[in-house]
Amino acid sequence: MYIDPAFEKVLVFDKKFKAPEEVVKDQTFRDKLEKYREEATGGVGNWKINEIGVIRGQTNMEALYYFELGNIHLSNQQWQDALINFQTALQKGMDNSITHFNIGQAYHQLGDYKQAIKHLDYAVKMKNDESAYYYLLGRSYFLCGDYENAAANFRMELKHAPKDVQTMYDLGVSYNNAGRDALVKRDYDKALFFYAEAEHVLRAAIRAGPNEYSENAVILLKNAQEKKAEIEKLAK
């Protein structure tokens, strides 16, 4: 028995489970989750219990409940409620990559990018082959103004999704901004490197064909080329 902070009521789970697989297979528990989903959302939207594969170790029933409730709030863009429930799931033992990623998502949407970075970094370290983890980590670094780390994570995302034009564009923007910052510091070698990288990746984005990023990519490419020429002229 425990108090559910989402609804401020006492919840009673009558059964004890020895393994997380038993939780997901138990129809009584699934029915309870469905009931709470309806209370949280009015029954609107698609929802299902996640596969047990996302759970590491002997995660108890309470942790799974809070994790699933967090997913409901996340899908309904209720970021603060999602954050509270994912944090509770983490505290109750669901310490895995997807929990940290979801906490990172909630913090990112709430504008707390430093906290988002902390949890997204945990997610990447726990599972280093998820492109979405790298992309959101890159976006969080970008919005903190750390363009070098943003670029590093966008590059990792492209290793897993090499044809992702949005990431190519975001990487090009990051390199352009990093080049600008290096110029302000009069670090011309670094600036030249960043603008050269921006030119390379933006050309790739443009070659990918007409898309929503094409026009801006052309503008950024021209900027990178002009800045490169300026720096090379200074070096002579």
The first and second tokens of residue 183, run together, are 């110029």
Is residue 64 in some structural domain? yes
DSSP state of 13: -
Q: What is the DSSP string of 34-95?
A: HHHHHHHHTT-S---PPPGGG--SS--HHHHHHHHHHHHHHHTT-HHHHHHHHHHHHHTT--
Please, is 216 exposed, middle or buried when counting C-beta atoms within 10 Å of its C-beta (0-12, 13-18, 19+)?
Answer: middle
Domain count, the chain: 1
Is residue 8 in some structural domain? yes
**Residue 27's domain spans which residues?**
1-95
d(CA 84, CA 197): 40
Span 209-236, average pLDDT: 91
Minimum mean pLDDT range among 64-78, 147-161, 191-205, 216-230: 64-78
Confidence of residue 181 (pLDDT cuts 50, 70, 90): very high
Is residue 201 in some structural domain? no
pLDDT at 142: 98
Is residue 91 in some structural domain? yes
d(CA 42, CA 36): 9
Predicted TM-score of the model (pTM): 0.77
Is residue 117 in some structural domain? no
Confidence of residue 73 (pLDDT cuts 50, 70, 90): confident
CA angle 186, 189, 192 (to 5 degrees): 100
pLDDT, tens digit, 9 for 90 and up, residues 125-145: 998 989 999 999 999 999 999
d(CA 166, CA 212): 9
Q: Is a pLDDT exceeding 50 seen at residue 83? A: yes
Is residue 9 in some structural domain? yes
The first and second tokens of residue 181, run together, are 């910052």
Is residue 81 in some structural domain? yes
Is residue 186 in some structural domain? no
Spacing of C-alpha 30 from chain mean position: 28
